[in-house]
Structure 1
Amino acid sequence: MDDGDGGRVAASLADRLDQLSFVDQTADGVTARVIEAVADWASGQGWRVYRRARSVMPLPGPMSGRHSIVDVACARPDAPPVVIEVDRTDRARTAEKLVAEAAAGRIAIWVRWGTGPFGAPPTPVHLVTCAVTHRNGPVGQGRLYTRRPGTDRPPPAHSGSPGTADVVALPIPDTDPETS
């Protein structure tokens, strides 16, 4: 696998997810929207898309005869397949699964969404992030997540540079009742 190809694929997906917008979604709702956006992006590339595709990694323990799944798998003509996992949390099992997928010759991408910060995944897994904000929803509903691209702007520039303002001592009134 050409790592430059993986970097280009991840950058293209990041560009697509930068356009994603939603308001007041549950965690499950956000994950579903991100997976749908990933599948739409891959279809737009002309690739065959498989949701909940079989992974190369077997399940642990009593289910060891079965295999894990990936959220989205993409078959590309004349190029290695792409597998994408979408998560809000930093799960070691997901990292292991994506490393196994990469070892099998696939481009492995981990889409992490949330408020960050997002730790770097193990090599050669590519990270694509989708930053959101959250608020507490109505009682019993938990957190609600929102993403509005273009609304996060840097603070405005202030006049003068740090440390150049004149310091003015302000009088502090004596509030001790015994000295008044």
Structure 2
Amino acid sequence: METADDGTSTAQSLSTWLDRLTFADLTEGEATARIIDTIAEWADWQGWRVYRRAPSVVPLPPPLRGNSVLDVACARPGGAAPIAIEVDRTDRQRTVDKLLAEAAAGRLAVWVRWGPGPFPPPPLPVHLVTRHAARRSGKWHTVSERPAPDHSTAAPVVAEAEELPWEQ
């Protein structure tokens, strides 16, 4: 939970929560939805109100009317700044602009990037949280940054076949 810092501890908490997320054989849309669901679970666990597709402070580009939406927004008690969260696989300037506008409006702006990386850092005060994933046969699966255990990477043991005596 957040202290009086600049939001780094909140972003780190979300990063730790997303590290536990695993999925396999999902389309891009399904993977994004799973990440958004996991973010909502994290915020709910914090005791915050969670809003999906919440209105942004950024207006839609013409000829559209109204405001853009955030993937997730969180209202926090006790006067803590609300959180504006966007989830993307690709590096989108429009997302950066939206999050900078949210930060200028007093919200903690968090960009959750997922995919194979690299993930260039956005300009401050936008916080970056990443979840590595890879695509195989057109479907996405999570990737752990932890190395495989030794027993998984050791060379196979080769044994000589030996005929056993036959007892009757």
TM-score range, shorter chain: 0.7 to 0.9
2:147 counterpart letter in structure 1: R
Q: Specify the alignment match of 2:126 in structure 1.
A: 125
Mapping of 1:66-105 within 5 angstroms? 66-78=66-78, 79-105=80-106
Between the aligned residues of both structures, percent identity stands at: 55
Structure 2 Cα separation of the partners of residues 101 and 85 of structure 1: 11
When the two structures are superposed, what TM-score results if normalisation uses the length of structure 2? 0.83
Q: Which residue type is aligned with residue 75 of structure 2?
A: A
2:147 is equivalent to residue 153 of structure 1:
yes
Tell me, in whole angstroms, the C-alpha distance in 2 between the residues paired with 1:147 and 1:84: 20
Runs of 4+ in 1 over 4 A off after TM superposition: none
| Corresponding residue number in structure 2 for 1:144 | 139
* Shift, 1:149, TM fit: 3.9
Q: Work out the CA distance in 1 between the residues paired with 2:132 and 2:111.
A: 14
Q: 1:16 to 1:155 in 2, by over 3 A?
A: closer
SS at match of 1:24: coil
Structure 1 residues 66, 3: CA separation in 2 closer, same or farther (over 3 Å shift)?
farther
**CA 1:58 to 1:129, structure 2 compared with 1: closer, same or farther past 3 Å?**
same
Maintained 8 Å contact 1:86/1:111: yes
- 1:61 deviates by 1.4
Maintained 8 Å contact 1:113/1:130 = yes
After superposition, the C-alpha distances for 1:42-97 in whole angstroms (9 at most, x for unaligned) are 0000000000000000011112x410000000000020000110000111100000
Root-mean-square deviation (CA, aligned residues, Å) is 1.8
The residue number in structure 2 matching 1:134 is 135
How many pairs does the alignment contain?
Answer: 147
Shift of the 48–155 alpha-carbon distance from structure 1 to 2, 3 Å rule, reads closer
The answer on whether the counterparts of 2:132 and 2:143 sit within 8 Å (CA) in structure 1 is: no
Relative to 1, partners in 2 of residues 1:61 and 1:133: Cα closer, same or farther, differing over 3 Å? Answer: same
Alpha-carbon distance in structure 2 between the residues aligned to 1:7 and 1:90 = 21
With normalisation by structure 1, the TM-score equals 0.77
Q: Is the 8 A contact 1:20 1:149 kept in 2?
A: no
Distance in 1 of aligned mates of 2:126 and 2:33: 22
